[in-house]
Amino acid sequence: MGGDLGRWIPATIPQLVRTAGERFGDAEAVVNGPLRLSFAELAERVRVAAGAFAKAGIGKGDRAAIWAPNSAEWVIAAFGLVTAGGVLVPVNTRFKPDEAADVITRSGAKLVLAQQGFLGLEFTAPVPVVDLRSGFLDDGAPFEREVDGTDIADIVFTSGTTGKSKGVLMNHQQTLRLYAEWCDLADLREGDRYLIVNPFFHTFGYKAGCIASLIRGATILPVPVFDVDRVLDLVERERITMLPGPPTLYHSLLEARGTRDLSSLRAAVTGAADIPVELIRRIRRELPFQSIMTGYGLTEAGTATASRPGDSFEDIATTVGTPCDGVEVRVAEDGEVLVRGYSVMQGYLDDPVATAEAIDAENWLHTGDLGTLDGRGHLRIVGRKKDMFIVGGFNAYPAEIEGFLLEHPAVAQAAVIGVPDERLGEVGKAFVVRRRPVTAGELIAWSRERMAGFKVPRFVEFLPELPMNGTGKVMKDELR
C-alpha cells in the first residue's frame, strides 16, 4: 500500500500475529515495565490466550469485551480473542459502570476482561468479568481457529459526543490493508520503539498502534495513563523513536527540551481540526523529529486522509492531507465531508436505520464533519456539522475560531459553542483553559483584530479544565 503497493499483507489478524513471530523472532515486541516479550514469545502467549478463550466458551463470531488501560495483557487478550475466532469489543476506560454496561450489553459480549482497581474502580458487568491479571490468559492450551479476512474482527463503539454511541463493524482485511499503508505514511519502521499514549480502546491506539507495530516489527510500549513526566522518562530510558499524540503532547516536549534527552525521537503523528503552524515549525526546528504526519480519521472509516512526506508546515498544520490509497473523499454541497472506499465500516451493530443514514445509496459515508478541498486535493476540516452556528446569517465554525484562540500565548485549550442571542440568532461563547493570566475583555479585543466580527466570541468563560471523553474530544454537550 502507499509507497509499496506490491507488499504482502496478511489476510487476518491471527495470521499477522503468527507471521510477526516468525519474521521478527527475538526482537522486542512489547515492553511493559519489567515485562519484555519478543515477537516469538508474544505469538506463543497469544495462542495460549486463544486456548483460554476457547475453554471459556468463546466460539467463532462470539464477542468479548476488554475494559482496561493500555498494557501488555490488553495486547495479548485482544489478539488471543481474535485468534480464537472471537470479535473484540474494546470499552472506554473513562466510562462509568452504567455506561460500560450499556455498551457491553448491546454488543452481546459473553465475557469481559477488566483490570480491577484501575483508577480506583471495581469493574462489574451484566456478564462474567475476569481480571486481566488473574492468570486467565495463561490458562489455555495453544490454539488457533480458522477465520476469514471478511469476518468481523472488532466492534468499536463511537465516542458518543452526539448522542448514544454506536458499534462500528470492521473486518480483518479492511484493517490490515489500511494500516499497512498507514505505516508508510507515518514512517513507522522495523525496530522502531513506539510509545503508545493513545488508548487501545480507540481505533488509533489499537490499529495505528498495536496492529501497525506487528505489521512493521516495531516495539510496543504501552502507556496506561498519560502523564508527561512518565512519558519523558520512557522516551529517555527506552530510546523511543515513534511518538504520536495530540498537539498538547508536543507542547510538553518543547517545554522539556534542554532538561531531557529527547534525541532518539524520529517520527511524530498528530491530528486536530486546526494546529498552529508555528507549533509544527517548532516541532521540526526545536525537536529531533524528522517526520511529522497529520491525518483525518473516524471510527467508521479509520484513517481517511494523511499528509505526505515533503508537505509544507502550512499543509501539515492547516489541512489533514490527501486521501489514502483506495479511499475517495468529496465535500457535499452543504459542506459535509463524504468518504467512500474499502475502509468504510460494514455497518453499525444491530442498527440498520443508523447505517442507512450514515452510508447512502452510492456508498458514501456521511461523516458529520464539515470541510473544504483545495485544488490539490488537500482536505481541511472546519468543524462538526452539528457544532456550526449561524451569527446574523453567517456560518460560524467553532474549530476555526478555536484555532485562532489557540494562537494567543495565554490560551492552553479552547472550546467554542453557539449560544442564543436575541438580535443575531446565535453568537459564540468560548470556554478557555489559561496558560497564564488573561482577562475575557483582553481575549475578545485580541480576537477582534484577527477574525471577522461574526466569528469573535461575545462571551469568554475560564475553566480549570475542559470536559473530555476518553478519546480526548471535548464534550460540548456538557458545555451547553
39-91: pLDDT as tens digits = 999 999 999 999 999 999 999 999 999 999 999 999 999 999 999 999 999 99
Residues of the chain with pLDDT under 70: 1-6, 160-163, 272-274, 470-472
CB 344 within 8 A of CB 376: no
Report the C-alpha gap between 275 and 54 in whole angstroms.
Answer: 46
Please give the pLDDT value at position 4.
46
| Burial label, 330 (beta-carbon count in 10 A; 0-12, 13-18, 19+) | middle
The pLDDT of residue 2: 37
Q: How far apart are CA 58 and CA 145, in angstroms?
A: 11
Element (H, E) at 417: strand 411-421
Cα gap 267→290, rounded to integer Å: 6
pLDDT at 477: 83
E strand spans, 324-364: 327-331, 336-341, 347-348
Cα→Cα distances 50→10, 40, 144, 334, 380, Å: 19, 15, 7, 48, 43
CA 29 to chain centre: 21
Backbone angles phi, psi at 177, to 5 degrees: -65, -45
Residue pointed to by grid coordinates 453557539: 418
pLDDT score for 480: 84
**Phi then psi dihedrals of residue 129, to 5 deg:** -115, 130
How many Å apart are CA 201 and CA 128, to the nearest integer?
19
Please answer whether residues 109 and 63 qualify as being in contact, where contact means their C-beta atoms are separated by less than 8 angstroms.
Answer: yes
CA angle 255, 222, 47 (to 5 degrees): 165
The per-residue pLDDT for 161 is: 52
Per-residue pLDDT, 220: 98
What phi, psi does 34 have (nearest 5°)?
-75, -15
- What domains sit in the chain, N to C, each tagged with a CATH number? 13-379 (3.40.50.12780), 387-479 (3.30.300.30)
Can you tell me the distance from the alpha carbon of 89 to that of 64, in angstroms, rounded to the nearest whole number?
A: 6
* Residues β-bridged to residue 162: none
In this prediction, residue 153 carries a pLDDT of 98
Residues forming beta bridges with residue 425, ordered by sequence position:
391, 421
pLDDT for 386 equals: 85
